[in-house]
A and B are shown apart, each in its own frame.
Chain A
Amino acid sequence: MAEITLIEGVTMALARAMEEDPGVVMFGEDVGVNGGVFRATAGLHDKFGDERVIDTPLAEVMIAGMSVGMASQGIKPVAEAQFCGFTMPMIDHIMCHAGRLRNRTRGRMSCPMVLRFPSGGGIHAPEHHSESPEALFAHMPGVRVVIPSSPSRAYGLMLAAIRDPDPVIFMEPKRIYRWQKEEVADDGEELPMDVCYTLRDGNDITLVTWGSMVKETLQAADQLEQQGLSVEVIDVATVSPLDMDTIIESVERTGRCVIIQEAPKHCGVASEIAAGLADAGIWHLHAPVKRVCGYDVVMPLYRNEMKYMPSVRRIVDAAKEILEVS
Chain B
Amino acid sequence: MAHTAAAFKVDYFQFLKPDGKLVEDQQVPALARDFDRLTELYKLMVLTRTFDKKAVALQRTGKLGTYASSLGHEAAHVAIGAAMKEEDCFAPMYREYGAQFYRGVKMSEVLLYWGGDERGSDFSGPKHDFAWCVPIATQCLHAAGAALAYKLKKEDRVAVTVVGDGGSSKGDFLEAINAGSAWKLPLVLVIVNNQWAISVPRKKQNTAATLAQKGIAGGLPSIQVDGNDLIACLWAMDKAVSAARQGKGSFVIEMITYRLSDHTTADDARRYRPGDEVDEAWDREPLKRLKAYLVDQGAWDEQQDEELLGECKKWVQQAADEYLEMIENDPQPVTAMFDYMFAELPQDLIEQRTYAQEYAEDGGHH
Contact = CB atoms under 8 A, between A and B. Distances in A.
Interface of A: 29-30, 32-35, 37, 55-62, 85-86, 88-89, 124-129, 265-266, 295-298, 300-309, 311-314
A59 B136 CA distance: 9
B341 A86 contact: no
**Which size bracket describes the interface of B in this complex?**
35 or more
A162 B132 CA distance: 36
A37 B198 contact: yes
Contacts of B65: 124-126, 302
Contacts of A306: 362-366
A119 B291 CA distance: 46
Interface stretch (B27-35, B41-49, B166-174, B278-286): B166-174
B331 A303 contact: yes
A297 B43 CA distance: 41
A301 B116 contact: yes
Interface string B104-124: 000000000111111000000
Given A303-B116, A304-B332, A308-B363, 17 more contacts: A29-B166, A32-B199, A57-B169, A57-B205, A88-B135, A89-B135, A126-B65, A128-B134, A295-B353, A295-B356, A296-B352, A301-B113, A302-B65, A303-B331, A305-B116, A307-B360, A309-B363
Contacts of A298: 337, 341
B171 to A, nearest CB: 6
A297 B272 CA distance: 38
A170 to B, nearest CB: 21
Contacts of B362: 306-307, 311-314
Contact of B337 (A85, A88, A125, A297): A297
B116 A307 contact: no
B349 interface: yes
A125 B132 CA distance: 15
Nearest to A33: B272
A232 B348 CA distance: 30
B134 A126 contact: yes
A266 B204 CA distance: 41
A125 B66 CA distance: 7
6 contacts: A34-B199, A89-B135, A301-B116, A304-B365, A308-B363, A314-B359
Given A124-B116, A308-B337, A313 B359 contact: yes
Nearest to A302: B116
B204 A55 contact: yes
Interface string B328-366: 000110101110010000001100110010011011111
B197 interface: yes
Contacts of B136: 58, 60, 86
Nearest to A303: B116
A182 B324 CA distance: 40
Nearest to A309: B363
A107 B151 CA distance: 50
Contacts of B199: 30, 32-34, 55
Contacts of A129: 134
Nearest to B352: A295
A283 B171 CA distance: 52
A92 to B, nearest CB: 10
Nearest to B267: A37
A307 B115 contact: no
B271 interface: yes
Contacts of A86: 135-136
B235 to A, nearest CB: 29
B327 interface: yes
Contacts of B356: 295, 307
Given A303-B332, A313-B362, A126 B66 contact: yes
A211 to B, nearest CB: 17
Given A304-B334, A311-B363, A127 B134 contact: yes
Contacts of B118: 300-301
A285 to B, nearest CB: 22
Contacts of B197: 29, 57-58
Contacts of A55: 199-200, 204
B330 to A, nearest CB: 12
Contacts of B170: 58-61
Contacts of B349: 295-297
Contacts of A60: 136, 170
B210 interface: no
B57 interface: no
B171 A61 contact: yes
User: What 10 A-B pairs are tightest by C-beta distance, nearest first?
Assistant: A306-B363, A58-B166, A302-B116, A34-B199, A311-B362, A303-B116, A57-B169, A301-B116, A307-B363, A59-B169
Nearest to B166: A58
Given A37-B267, A59-B171, A303-B115, A295 B331 contact: no
B341 A85 contact: no
B206 interface: yes
Given A29-B200, A58-B136, A296-B348, A307 B337 contact: yes
A29 B205 CA distance: 11
B308 interface: no
Interface in B251-286: 264, 266-267, 271-272
Could you say which of B132, B136, B349, B356 has the most chain A C-beta atoms within 10 Å of its C-beta?
B136
A239 B115 CA distance: 33
Interface string B87-116: 000000000000000000000000001111
Nearest to A42: B271
B135 A62 contact: no
A304 B200 contact: no
